[in-house]
Every structure is written in structure tokens, then in C-alpha cells.
Structure 1
Amino acid sequence: MVSEIRLFATAQYAAQIQFYQELLASRGVTVEWVEIEQLNARFLRQHPELALCLDQDGLWLSAEGMKMQPDWRGEISRLKRASLKSELLARACQLAEKPKLIDATAGLGHDSLLMAHLGAEVILVERHPILVTLLEAAKAQATLDPFLADTAERISLVYADSQDYLEQRVREQQEVDVVYLDPMFPQRDQNSNKKQALVKKQMQLLHLLLADDGQMDLGEQLLAPARQIAKRVVVKRPRLAVHLDDVTPDHQWLGDACRFDAYFK
């Protein structure tokens, strides 16, 4: 887990930098502010280490010349096209019934944003201190956007380990309609056929951030507690991937690149 990280920003963001330094310090991460004259593509190429950036577009993660943030505003066009009938995710999670839903593998929060837009009340759980801070920044921006504000209000962020969170709900017998799991999946062999494209740039940075001593959390330990508290558990997988924890689902919805496996209570 990252315990210290640099933050690149110009002097005009001093007040926001202090806020993020204090917030991340409370989460066990020391933030060193590196004051710079200009944050641009050239600067990022010259500073390839994993770092945070702050500019007019908010808080970002950067590495290897790339930038990444949970870009909820960038999802607006997708949300405008989405409907309960057109989205496999909506059918798998029965979003027409406006379920209470736990997304236990937050990622960038884009699927949670879609599910909330289509009517779900979403609890978004994330254990990584930097990623949850990025998600909080994305939600704060979304609440100021006229199109996203109502959707953002249906999303609650919880800073916790997902396994601990689910097991606590099991002990307290706190049931929920749906638990949604989209665990990390190993990157394809970068020397394999070029048709097997590399993970998108944003996901590459997410892999860099979340990698723990080279071992990726693949989410197998989440399925059992999720099944104890949810009427249905929905797992997003690459179309040809093995079943999560080698447990055969009760039903599947197949898309071109991915599928949704469902386990019913």
C-alpha cells in the first residue's frame, strides 16, 4: 500500500493542497507537495513516477506520462444513451426495481454512476486511501453538475476494506438487494497477439496504484459474504474468463467483450 506520494501543482492551489494533505494523512498517506510552474504533458513525461496532480480539472493520478481520474463528467454521453433495456448491467442487476446495491469493487466508479443514474441506491466501497480520495473528488464535482447532481446523491462512498465491510454486514444481518463485483483481472500478456489490446491507459494506472507487492486482489474472497447478504450477486467478467472463485453462476448475460454472472439467494 502506498504510504507516501508526491503531489504536483502550482502555487495557486495551495489551499486545496493543504486539504488533501490533511485528508490523506488521516488515511495513512504522507503527501509531499512539489510546487511547479506548469503542469503539462512534457512535465509528466519528465516525471514518470506515480504521483498526484492538481489543476483546474481537479485531482488526478499520474505515472509514465499518463493522467487518470474518475472522470464522471466524461461519462455523461454514455448516461444519456443508457436505458434499462439497452444495458446488460441494468438487466443483470434488475435496476428497474431501483435496488439498494453495494458496489464492493469501486474502481473508477463508472459502473456505479451508471447504476445510480438508472435508479439504484449505491454504496460504493473502496479500501485504497488514494483511490477513495479521487472518488470523493469526482463525486464532489458531480454534485455541482446539473445533469449529474441527482445521480451523485444516490451514491454513498465508504472507505473500508470490502471483505471486512461485507462480513460486518453478515454479522449484523444487514441485507441488501444486490452486491456488484467487478474485481481486477490480470492484464493480458503484453507480448501476445496485438489484437489482445493492452488495458486502457486509465486501467494501467489503476493497476499500478492497486498492485500490492506484485499481487493483484482478484476478489475471490468477496463472493461468499456477498451471497450471504444479497438477493443476487452480479459479477462482471471478461467474456471468456473463468468463474469467480470457480463457482458456477445461476445465470449469465453475455456481451461482446464481457459477461455478467449472477448468483441468486
Structure 2
Amino acid sequence: MVSALRLFTEQEFQEKAQQYSAVLSSRGVHVNVENIDKLNARFLRFNPELALCVDESGLWLCANGMKMQPDWKAEVPRLKRSSLKSEMIARACNLGEKPGLIDATAGLGHDSLLMAHLGADVTLVERNPILFTLLEDSKKQAENDPFLSAVVARIHLVFSDSADYLRLQAEQQHVVDVVYLDPMFPQRDQNQQAIKKQAQVKKQMQLLHLLLPEDGEMDLGDNLLGLAQKIAKRVVVKRPRLAVYLAEQQPDHQWQGDACRFDAYFQHHLLE
């Protein structure tokens, strides 16, 4: 896990940067705040190493001339177009029933945002302190947006390892309607050529891959499936369309799309 990062900011955002630094320090990440004259594209190109930056829009992850944050406000047009009938994820997660749902693979939180918009009460679990802080910042900003405020009120952020969190729920005999899994790195799957033909990873995901390297703290989710099945009436796994099954376990039902599919595993003893 990345335990130390530089944080770039301009003088007028110094106080805000120090606040983020204090929060990250409390979560085990040492941040060295550096004031610069101008935080712009040219500066980022000449400072390509993984770092953080703060401007009027809040906290960003930056590297290789790019910067990224989980921009939930940018998702508003998609949310406004979505419906229970049009979204495959809504059918897979049975969102029409307004389920209690655990998203155990947070990513940038965009799927959680959509599911909350369509009625789910979402617990979003993330263990990486930097990504969690980025998500936390996005939620705070969304709370001030007239359209998003009601949506993010149904999203609850939990700073925890997902496996530990699911084990705790099982120990406490908690049952939830849905656990949603979208493992970030399906490259290990057998259909290598089909996966390689997909479009290049978007800028946001490129930076996320630098923060969460496949051979480091981010796993492929195999262990989460069994843990989720202990507490969820329905476990839904998002996969590339041609990818192998998670943990090599055949699902009870599938919803197929052009680029991805949703595999569902039903725990009938919990449904009774």
C-alpha cells in the first residue's frame, strides 16, 4: 500500500490541503504538502510520479500528466437517463425492491451511485485510505448538489477491508439483500485475447491501477464470493462478457450485455 505521497497545491488552497493531509495521516498515509506557483497541465506533465493535488474542486490523484477524482457530479446525466427497466444492473440486483446492498469493491463508486439513485440503500466498503478519502470527498461535494443530495443520503461509506467487513457481518449473523462485487482486475481470466481487445482503460482507471497495483493490495475478488454468500440473499458479480466465472463458480443466473455481464448467486436458505 502507498504509505507516503507528495501533495501539490497553490497558496490559496494551503489550508484545505493541510486538512486533507491531517485526515490521510490519521489513516496511515504520510503526506508532504508542497506549495507551487501554478497547478496546471504543464506542471503535472513535468511531475509524472504518483501524487495528490488540491484545488478549488477538492482532492485529486495525479500521475503521468493526468489527474483524477471520483467525480460523482459528472454522473448526473447518466443517472437522469437511467431507469429500473433500462439498466441491467437494476434487474441483476433487484433494485425495484429497494434492497439493502453492500458494494464490497468500491472503485470510484459510480455503480453504487447508480444503484442508490435507483432505490438501493448502499454500504460502500473501501480499505485503501487514499481512495476512501477521495470517495469521502466526492460524497461531501455531492451532498451540496440539489440532484445528488437525496441519492448520496442512501450511500454509507465504510473504511474497512471488505473481507474483514463481510466476516464481521457473518459473525454478527447479519443478513443483507445483496452483495455486489466488481473485481477490478479480470486480466487473469482465460479469455485473454477477447479482454485485450477491449478499449484502452479510461484515464480514471489508469490512475486507479497505479494506486492499487494488481500484484499488491488489490486482489481479483475470488475470496470475497464465498464470504458474501454467507450473508447475502443474492450475490451479484459484474464481469467482462467473456471472462471466466469468479472463483470458478457457475452462477445461478446471468444477465448478458454487449461488453459485460452480471452473474447472480442465490442463497435459497436465506431467502426462506
Question: Normalised by the size of structure 2, how large is the TM-score?
Answer: 0.93
Could you give the per-residue CA deviations for residues 201-258 of structure 1, whole angstroms, max 9, x where no partner exists?
1111111101165574111110001011000000000000000000000000011100
Amino acid at match of 1:171: E
CA RMSD of aligned residues (A): 1.9
Q: Of 207, 217, 224, which aligns to 1:205?
A: 207
Aligned 8 A contact 1:186 1:216 in 2 = no
- Structure 1's 191 and 86: CA in aligned 2 closer, same or farther, altered over 3 A? closer
Give the whole-Å Cα distance in 1 for the aligned partners of 2:229 and 2:218.
Answer: 22
2:49 counterpart of 1:61: no
1:66: Cα distance to partner? Answer: 1.0
196-205 vs 70-79, greater mean Cα deviation: 196-205
- Structure 1's 68 and 159: CA in aligned 2 closer, same or farther, altered over 3 A? same
Q: Of 253, 256, 262, which aligns to 1:254?
A: 256
Give the whole-Å Cα distance in 2 for the aligned partners of 1:166 and 1:199.
Answer: 29
Aligned 8 A contact 2:61 2:69 in 1 = yes
Matched-pair identity in % = 67
Match of 1:171 in 2: 171
- Structure 1's 175 and 191: CA in aligned 2 closer, same or farther, altered over 3 A? closer
Give the whole-Å Cα distance in 1 for the aligned partners of 2:241 and 2:24.
Answer: 37
Give the whole-Å Cα distance in 1 for the aligned partners of 2:76 and 2:220.
Answer: 29
Q: Within 5 Å, which residues of 2 pair with 1:26-175? A: 26-175=26-175
Q: Aligned pair count?
A: 265
Give the whole-Å Cα distance in 2 for the aligned partners of 1:193 and 1:175.
Answer: 35
- Structure 1's 57 and 98: CA in aligned 2 closer, same or farther, altered over 3 A? same
Q: Within 5 Å, which residues of 2 pair with 1:211-226? A: 211=213, 213-214=215-216, 216-226=218-228
Give the whole-Å Cα distance in 2 for the aligned partners of 1:252 and 1:20.
Answer: 42
Aligned 8 A contact 1:239 1:257 in 2 = yes
Amino acid at match of 2:181: L
Moved runs in structure 1, 4+ residues, more than 2 A? 190-197, 212-216
Aligned 8 A contact 1:238 1:259 in 2 = yes
2:242 counterpart of 1:240: yes
Give the whole-Å Cα distance in 2 for the aligned partners of 1:191 and 1:41.
Answer: 34
Aligned 8 A contact 1:84 1:91 in 2 = yes
1:97: Cα distance to partner? Answer: 0.3
Give the whole-Å Cα distance in 2 for the aligned partners of 1:178 and 1:194.
Answer: 30
Structure 1, unaligned runs of 5 or more = none
Amino acid at match of 1:241: A
Give the whole-Å Cα distance in 2 for the aligned partners of 1:94 and 1:249.
Answer: 16
1:185: Cα distance to partner? Answer: 1.8
